[in-house]
Structures are given as C-alpha cells and as structure tokens.
Structure 1
Amino acid sequence: MGNTLLSSTDAAGSAAGGGLIMIVYIVLIFVFIYFFMIRPQKKEQKKQAAMLSQLAIGDCVLTNSGFYGIIIDITDDTVIVEFGNNKNCRIPMQKAAIAQVEKADNE
C-alpha cells in the first residue's frame, strides 16, 4: 500500500513537469514566429512606406507588373507614370503599385 502512494505522487509530479515543458514549447514557438515572420514583415512594410513617401516627379519607377516608367505627377495616393519614349502612354496608378524607385539624377 505504501508503494501505491509513492507512485501516485511521482505520477502527479511528472504530469505537472510535462505541462510546464509544453508551456515552454508553446512560448518558444510564438517567439520564433514573431522574430522570423512578423517582425521582418513589419520592417519591410516600413521600408516600402518610406520609399513611397519620398517619391518625386522625374523618378524612374518599376511597377509591380514589371513596367518601367517615369513619374510625371503625384497626388495623395496616386501617381501618373509615363511609359515608353513616345510620351503618349501616361497611366494613373496607385502608389502601392510601385515596387522599386530609382531617384532622378540632378547633376
């Protein structure tokens, strides 16, 4: 009878230890997700927003669809981009459609 009392206490202690280990694993998974998924995404969004806030007329841009063009007008959330050399293809688009910016040389 003394053996059963001792073994039941050991079982309760190991179950509590197993629960603690599970909580530690869950916390580690959330830390991993934050540092390797959420944080880099927020950093990239801040970088994109900074790039779009520094747009200027005359900048060469690459759109998300893969077209290169020159900005000829900027409003609050849209830009007018001129594509090609013939100066006839001017398309208004949202700033969010711009993937990359090359600043115009002022030399």
Structure 2
Amino acid sequence: MIFLQSQGFDQRGMIFMFGALAVMYFFLILPQRRKAKKEKEFRNDIKKGTKVVTTSGIHGKVAEINDTNNTVVIETGAGKIRFERAAISMELSQKLSQK
C-alpha cells in the first residue's frame, strides 16, 4: 500500500527539473551562443591591415584575405603565413588593439 502511494505523479519534481534546465540554458548555453556569434562576426569583419593574434599566439597584420577558401595571409616578423580564419583569436586580437 505504501509502495503504491510513492509511485504517484510528483509535480514538485517536474517543476524542479524544468527550473534546473532553464537555469542551465540561461547561464551556460545562451552566453556560449552569444560568444560564438560575436566571434563569427569578428572573423567575417576582418579587413586588410588589421592587427590580429592567432590562437597559437602568432602576432601579425592581415596582408591578404581569400574568401573562397576562408584563409587569411598574416604578415609577421618572420614573413607571410597563411591561416584559416578560424585560427584568429577574437579575445587576443582585441587586447592587442587596446594597447
């Protein structure tokens, strides 16, 4: 008899579960989506002459942009190097431009 009573539908448990999912969405997923969107816009707005830093830490200035295969040629102290656009770090490049 007691076993049957504990198997009933518990609304408080469902409310807690949906609340936990909402908190996870607003504090984890939504900010990550916003950051990814800003990074994508940053990479698409790169122009020739922009000073950038790659994710591997290489500093340089954009010399060429090739839109067909999403590559960028960066001029460094050692010469010109071709990188994927995705290899350019938004955070490090913005810190470089603030100096």
TM-score (norm 1): 0.74
Which residue number corresponds to residue 45 of structure 1?
Answer: 36
Paired positions, count: 90
Which residue number corresponds to residue 78 of structure 1?
Answer: 71
Which residue number corresponds to residue 90 of structure 1?
Answer: 80
Q: 2:15 aligns with which of 24, 43, 66?
A: 24
Q: Which runs of 4+ in 1 moved over 4 A?
A: 14-17
Q: CA RMSD in A?
A: 2.2
- Matched residues in 2 for 1:15 and 1:24: separation? 17
TM-score (norm 2): 0.79
Q: Deviations over 1:52-103 (max 9, x none)?
A: 111100000011011110100001211000111xxx521111000000346x
- Matched residues in 1 for 2:86 and 2:75: separation? 17
- Please identify the structure whose Cα radius of gyration is greater: 1
- Matched residues in 1 for 2:22 and 2:7: separation? 25
- Matched residues in 1 for 2:85 and 2:36: separation? 13
Unmatched tracts of structure 2, length 5 or more: none
Q: 1:34 aligns with which of 5, 25, 42?
A: 25
